[in-house]
Amino acid sequence: MTIKNTLFIFLFWLMTFSAYATARLDYQTVDMLTYRCYSEQKWDSVILVGKQALKQDIDYYYLRVRMGISYYQIKEYFPAVTHLKKAREFNSGDSYVTNYLYWAYKLTNRADEAELIRATIPPAERDTLYEKPGFLQQVHVESGYTLSSDRAPENLSTLMGADSIYGEQDLYGNNFYGNFGLNIRASNRLSFSLIYNYLNFAKTKYVQYGRVETQFDSISYQEFSNDYFYSLHFKVHDTAVKYNVKQNEAYLGATITLPWGIKVMPAVHWINVKYTMTNVNSRTDSISDTAYYLKADSTYYMFKYPSLVYSFIQKDTSFNNFVAALSITKDIGRFIIGLSGSWSNLNGYTQTEAGLSLTYFPLGNLNFYGTTEVTGFFQQRSKRVLFSQILGAKLTPWLWGEANFYYGDYTNANIFNGAIVYNNSDKIDYRAGVNLVFVLSKHIQLSLIYQYFRKESQQTYMKIGANGSKQQIQYNPYNTNSIIGGITWKL
């Protein structure tokens, strides 16, 4: 066919459809147009006519089949799923449609739904054409290291404040992270995620205190005595106590695949924290020094004065925290709507969260996607709004990239249905990161993750005023940079 004839046919169909678009379509016209375009593999024309027909309440089996396969051929797998599912509602026994739907699910990373479709195929055909998934679906291992700028106070001399007598700051240094995870399929509708995490934080407790102390100056030798002279000076003492916080975590999450594109995902997360706690105690003691020496009886006579004494008491500490989470998602064409909630008891407080998320695939496939989520966080009288945005894209046939941004104080909050918990004591201002996934083969992927956190550590000091001393709190900003590498085996 010449270019001139091809152009003429294209313009003919365009004018023909434009005329029908402004008029009322009927079943015969829709069937004729979609069949002709489908036979000639004019996939966009099938979709164009099909959309107009559906708007005019014309809906039947072959229309959905042609639209679903047309979307599949132009690699828009999410709308392909919508129309192929509808076609199976008209006729569930067509293996041709079933095959396309199965692969559309696989190509949108919905293995649970694909397995449900596979289970409906007769055993002889199913075992020949489709790979049967095993009990163990995936193994993932990753590890990383975090560099912190908060390893020491920026200005130790002002740790206790300008007119203070005491100050302290508990700082997070560098930390190590390790992860091991399994994905297990228990049945067609039920799968599990099992994850173990280990974290080791290097921390330092800095303490600074000032007090008035006597300083021996001189001795005056008299005929009958030796007199001792002292002066009073305000002296500042610094103490640094290094220790490690070790954290072991276990996570169990289930995915229950229901009809109508609904998934229910309950999860529980156990966290065990161990470290050596350092408590600083102060008391007023009576200190004795030599006042004078009387030669007549060879006796030293003492004088007493009060002095503030600090002691550091260390104690091994271990406690368990828990997070219970539930997420429900619903597939709607190119979108996934999610509702989430959780309860936790972290660091002596009780927290609840409720969130709403929207995941979208503008291109109809996984080549570009995004997830926007808003979460309400509640802890005693504290109420926060947390926001997150994820954008991902296929950069090359073997490389995927994803950028993420989390805004708000995520301290004692959790994300990803309770899988990641931010239970350290410092305030989180925001987090940003980049993930890269390198696809080496069908079964092996490598990942490289960078994360940046902007945080604030808490400095406590006592300020002296007209009504005595009063505790003050100041937040000091710092940042952390993490690099994490991982490998995934898809079995």
pLDDT of residue 232: 85
Q: Are 206 and 238 in contact (CB under 8 A)?
A: yes
Alpha carbon distances (Å) from 149 to 239, 275, 390, 406, 451 = 20, 21, 26, 20, 14
Mean of the pLDDT values across residues 218-229? Answer: 90
In this structure, what token pair is assigned to residue 435? Answer: 């993930």
Q: Does residue 412 share a domain with residue 457?
A: yes
pLDDT of residue 461: 85
**Whole-angstrom Cα distance, residue 444 to residue 447?**
10
Q: Which helix (H) or strand (E) holds 4?
A: helix 3-22
The 10s digit of each residue's pLDDT in 363-377 is 999 999 999 999 999
Q: Does residue 114 share a domain with residue 145?
A: no
pLDDT of residue 13: 52
If pLDDT is split at 50, 70 and 90, which confidence band does 111 have?
confident
Q: Does residue 211 share a domain with residue 88?
A: no
Mean of the pLDDT values across residues 452-462? Answer: 90
If pLDDT is split at 50, 70 and 90, which confidence band does 161 have?
confident
Give residue 425's Cα distance to chain centre: 17
Q: Does residue 192 share a domain with residue 91?
A: no
Residue 119's CATH number: 1.25.40.10
pLDDT of residue 1: 45
Residue 388 pLDDT > 90:
yes
Q: What is the number of other CB atoms lying within 10 angstroms of the CB of residue 263?
A: 19
Q: What is the number of other CB atoms lying within 10 angstroms of the CB of residue 343?
A: 14
The 10s digit of each residue's pLDDT in 406-426 is 999 999 999 999 999 999 889
Terminal alpha carbon distance of the chain: 47
If pLDDT is split at 50, 70 and 90, which confidence band does 290 have?
confident
**Whole-angstrom Cα distance, residue 168 to residue 283?**
17
Helix (H, G, I), strand (E, B) or coil at 470: strand
Q: Does residue 171 share a domain with residue 309?
A: yes
Q: Where among 101, 129, 157 does a domain terminate? A: 129
Q: Does residue 151 share a domain with residue 64?
A: no
Q: Where are the alpha helices (DSSP H) in 155-267?
A: none
The 10s digit of each residue's pLDDT in 7-40 is 444 444 554 555 544 567 899 999 999 999 999 9
Q: Does residue 456 share a domain with residue 364?
A: yes
Looking at residue 222, what DSSP letter applies?
A: -
> What single-letter amino acid sits at 199?
L
Q: Which helix (H) or strand (E) holds 264?
A: strand 262-294
Q: Are 101 and 81 in contact (CB under 8 A)?
A: yes
* Structural domain containing residue 43: 3-129
Q: Does residue 355 share a domain with residue 234?
A: yes
pLDDT of residue 23: 60
If pLDDT is split at 50, 70 and 90, which confidence band does 127 have?
low
Q: Which helix (H) or strand (E) holds 62?
A: helix 61-73
List strand residue ranges (DSSP E) for 295-409, in order: 299-332, 335-344, 351-360, 368-379, 382-396, 399-407
> What single-letter amino acid sits at 92?
S
Q: Does residue 187 share a domain with residue 120?
A: no
* Secondary structure (DSSP) of 113-174: HHHHHHHTS-HHHHHHHSPPP-SEEEEEEEEEEEEES-SS-S-GGGTT-TTEEEEEEEEEEE
Q: Where among 129, 164, 190 does a domain terminate? A: 129
The 10 Å CB-count burial string (b at 16+, else e) for 414-430 is: bbebbbbbbbbebebbe
The 10s digit of each residue's pLDDT in 173-185 is 999 999 999 999 9
Closest of 425, 432, 441, 443 to residue 408, by C-alpha:
432
**Whole-angstrom Cα distance, residue 197 to residue 182?**
12
* Secondary structure (DSSP) of 404-462: EEEES--TT-EETTTTEE--SSSEEEEEEEEEEEEE-SSSEEEEEEEEEEEEEEEEEEE
How many folded domains does the chain comprise?
Answer: 2
**Whole-angstrom Cα distance, residue 316 to residue 304?**
37
Residue 173's CATH number: 2.40.160.40
What's this model's pTM, rounded to 2 decimal places? 0.86
Closest of 488, 424, 482 to residue 177, by C-alpha:
482
Q: Where among 66, 101, 129 does a domain terminate? A: 129
Q: Does residue 445 share a domain with residue 419?
A: yes
> What single-letter amino acid sits at 288?
S
Q: Does residue 63 share a domain with residue 178?
A: no
**Whole-angstrom Cα distance, residue 70 to residue 83?**
10
Q: Does residue 172 share a domain with residue 89?
A: no
